Amino acid sequence: MTMEAEEIEKGVYVVGGAGISHPADCCVYLVDAGPEMVMIDAGAGPGAGSILKNVRDLGFDPSRIGHLVATHCHIDHIGGIAWIREETGCLVIGHQEDRDGIELGDPRLTAADLYGIEYWPTKVDVVLEGDEEVMKLGDLEFRFVAIPGHTPGSIAVLVDLLGVRFLFGQDVHGPFSDRWGSDVGRWRRSMEKLLGLEADILCEGHAWVFRGPEVRSYIEAQLRRHQHL
């Protein structure tokens, strides 16, 4: 299915994804924080040029992208970082627990061998280390919440914008594998943490966007789906 980059709500956009930029891409989101823009993930790599074109087509100069958040170290989320960083000069934010995958590019940790896509290792400029950290980027506060389970260093991003609470919870749905350090027990606790954030809109890594009561329903559905793991 072919889709287009679009505005989700005022100030938040989807600029990449399987039907938007490249079949291997996760959903890539963009937040307008005033003086700068913040990108959430970067796709698998081959679609990076399309992602930046989508940013331009929405009327934005990609050079405004000041930070790029790597929500975890899988190639469908980080493969495009090197390209986008080269084009924009942005700084990369990631968690210490997934840093080896992002910076060293182990094909098991990145799952690059499963995709058959070459990964270009990338430096993490801003390293998150704890369970939670708040950072002001542009005019907005970004709350980075550790949600280990899918990978050890998975993070979610919470942003309150114009009275709407956005939760960028990439790969809420899993999957899980010992090869990249999954822990289903930790994932369940992470999902309970996400439920407690009471987001108005969930921007998920592959399942698109959920609004209002759909947010809780989707997360709870994933907990039920994996209850026997």
- The domains located in the chain, with CATH, are 6-225 (3.60.15.10)
Q: Find the radius of gyration of the CA atoms of the chain.
A: 16
Q: In the predicted model, what is the mean pLDDT of residues 84-100?
A: 97
Structure tokens of 175? Answer: 């999957």
Amino acid 215: pLDDT: 97
For residue 170, what are the contacts with CB-CB under 8 A and spacing of at least 6?
26, 27, 40, 41, 71, 72, 77, 154, 156, 204, 205
Euclidean distance between the first and the last CA atom of the chain, given in angstroms as a whole number: 31
pTM for this predicted structure: 0.96
Give 145's Cβ-side CA count (13 Å radius).
22
pLDDT band at 195 (very low <50, low <70, confident <90, very high): very high
pLDDT at 3: 76
User: Once rounded to an integer, what is the mean pLDDT over residues 163-184?
Assistant: 94
Distances from the Cα of 194 to the Cα of 121, 147, 188, angstroms: 29, 8, 10
What does the pLDDT read at residue 229? 66
Separation between Cα atoms, residue 89 and residue 82, nearest integer Å: 10
Q: Is the pLDDT of residue 75 over 60?
A: yes
pLDDT of 181 over the 90 cut: yes
Residues 6+ apart with CB under 8 A from 90: 39, 65, 66, 67, 68, 84
> Counting Cβ atoms within 10 Å, is residue 96 exposed (0-12), middle (13-18) or buried (19+)?
middle
**Is 125 in contact with 157 (CB distance < 8 Å)?**
no
What does the pLDDT average to over 87-92?
A: 97
Average pLDDT over residues 130-141: 97
Which pLDDT band, with edges at 50, 70 and 90, does 129 fall under? very high
Give the span between the Cα atoms of 24 and 27, in whole angstroms.
10
Q: What is the mean pLDDT of the chain?
A: 95
